[in-house]
Amino acid sequence: MSDAASLIAVRRALLSRLGRYQAWAVVEKQIVERLRACFAAHPPSLRRIDLHTPPAILEQIVKYEAVHAIRGDADLRRRLQDDRRCYALFSAALPGQPLIFIEMAFTRGICGDVSSLLDTESPVVEPKSCDCGTFYSISSCDEGLRGIPFGNALIRAVVEQLRHETPWVGTFATVSPVPGFRTWLEEVARRRGGVLLEAFDALSERAWMEDPALSRRLEALLMPACAAYLVSAKRGDEPLDPVARFHLGNGARLERINWLGDRSPAGLQRSAGIVANYVYDLPSVDSNQHAYRTAHRIATATALTELAQRAA
């Protein structure tokens, strides 16, 4: 076992017990610094994952996919076909193990429906007919690596590589979950009551998706509420939503939200099926990131800010 692997294993164990033994936090921070030094000495490099990747690594991709579980061989193959890409960071400090990986699809315009990307029966499209690279999942490959900032480096490296390999792609965006929305919505709805509470209670009945009139009423109430959650709900000075913190902290712009963009059980449970698009506009990524870090300002499309202002 490499030094990095040993440190990661110890940190994983520490993280699982920090709630009970808070004094261990000092040791945990020391391990993080040693890991940072280890990966600084062996900088991660980008590698594409495809159907020719060794099976042992493909097994890790399946194991660690944290956003949209890979449902067997057919699902894995579909995610690695010509209109898709999967990239991972590897380091000599941790031989044979990806550190973090990201999945994307070439799409026509910014995709607001991740369910269509996860459909194993969907037709393979010609990448050159697409103008957008849509990232739909990013996953760390070990709990012991949590909080070590590989994500920003991975996204930037992938965008730079695709700009050279696929120059016809002019937009890079995400179709992302909004994992904290329903929990926040319940708290706000129970405090305020009224139509917002009625809307939240309606979500507990699966029939709402099969009732077009009810679905439209919920959309009219919940889309502004979700916009307000992403724009205004805070954890300290940062967005309450963890995915928003990640992408906005990396310099992305919160572009729009989409009704029923994830109709999976997980998507409905997380956010009533709402998904968000974050755009990585390279000329403004650095300035967005600087504004976020120094003034806690988030880059948000005007239409989304206006939608948030209509929240009940």
- Rg of the chain over all Cα atoms, to the nearest angstrom: 20
How deeply is 204 buried, as exposed, middle or buried, from its count of CB atoms within 10 A (0-12, 13-18, 19+)?
A: exposed
Which one of 176, 215, 232, 290 is the catalytic residue?
176
Distance CA 205, CA 52 (A): 44
| 9 Cβ neighbours under 8 A, 6+ residues apart | 1, 144
Residue with tokens 């449902």: 71
Which one of 91, 139, 140, 247 is the catalytic residue?
247
Q: How many residues does the chain have?
A: 312
Q: Partners of 107 in the beta sheet?
A: 132
| pTM for this model (two decimals) | 0.93
Q: What is the pLDDT of residues 197-235, one digit of tens each?
A: 999 999 988 789 889 999 999 999 999 999 999 999 999
Distance CA 121, CA 125 (A): 12
Say if CB 61 and CB 51 are below 8 A apart.
Answer: no
Provide the pLDDT for residue 234: 96
Q: What is the pLDDT of residues 277-303, one digit of tens each?
A: 999 998 999 999 999 999 999 999 999
At 46, the pLDDT band (50, 70, 90 cuts) reads very high
Residue-range domains of the chain with CATH: 3-174 (3.40.630.180), 181-308 (3.40.630.150)
DSSP string, 97-133: --SEEEEEEEESS----HHHHT-TTSPPPPGGG--EE
The one-letter code for the residue type at 183 is T
Say if CB 311 and CB 221 are below 8 A apart.
Answer: no
Rounded to the nearest integer, the mean pLDDT of the chain is 95
Residue 247 is among the residues annotated as catalytic for this protein: yes
Distance CA 171, CA 222 (A): 28
Q: Partners of 48 in the beta sheet?
A: 87
Provide the pLDDT for residue 56: 96
Report helix, strand or coil for 150. Answer: coil
Token pair for 106: 């070439």
